[in-house]
Amino acid sequence: MNEQLSPEILALLKDPNTLIPVVVQDKDSNEVLMLAYMNTQSLAISVATGKATYWSRSRNELWEKGLTSGNSQIIHSISIDCDGDSILLKVEQQGAACHTGNKSCFYRTIS
């Protein structure tokens, strides 16, 4: 895939060469579903396709969410924080976000 980020989006990022943490939120319930990471390639693909694509740190490869599980995330909006070093995705979640089957990865509350 040859998707590239526009200069306008690149200018918003503090460092396009590093992995950026991405907060993923359900667009309807506003539940926080997971935290993942993107590099500029996966961000460009996400912008181009409208489907959340991350960078898997464990497999060291592009990770289109739901490609094998069916639990895709259709992107509703992409926001960048004030410092340009984190991203917020609002998504329409197909099925569960978490590999455990929970809707959200944050199902363990400690206090």
Q: How far is the CB of 103 from a second copy (least distance, A)?
A: 12
- Candidates 2, 89, 13; CA nearest to 54 is 89
Query: What are the CB-based long-range contacts (under 8 Å, 24+) for 49-57?
Result: 49/3, 50/74, 50/75, 51/75, 52/24, 52/89, 52/91, 54/22, 55/19, 57/19
Q: How far is the CB of 83 from a second copy (least distance, A)?
A: 7
Q: Is 2 in the site for a second copy (CB under 8 A)?
A: no
Q: How far is it, in rounded angstroms, from Cα 15 to Cα 13?
A: 6
Q: How far is the CB of 65 from a second copy (least distance, A)?
A: 14
Q: Is 102 in the site for a second copy (CB under 8 A)?
A: yes
Q: Is 32 in the site for a second copy (CB under 8 A)?
A: yes
| Residues between 42 and 101 with contacts to a second copy, criterion CB under 8 A | 47, 75, 77-83, 86, 88, 98-100
Q: How far is the CB of 2 from a second copy (least distance, A)?
A: 19
Q: Is 31 in the site for a second copy (CB under 8 A)?
A: yes
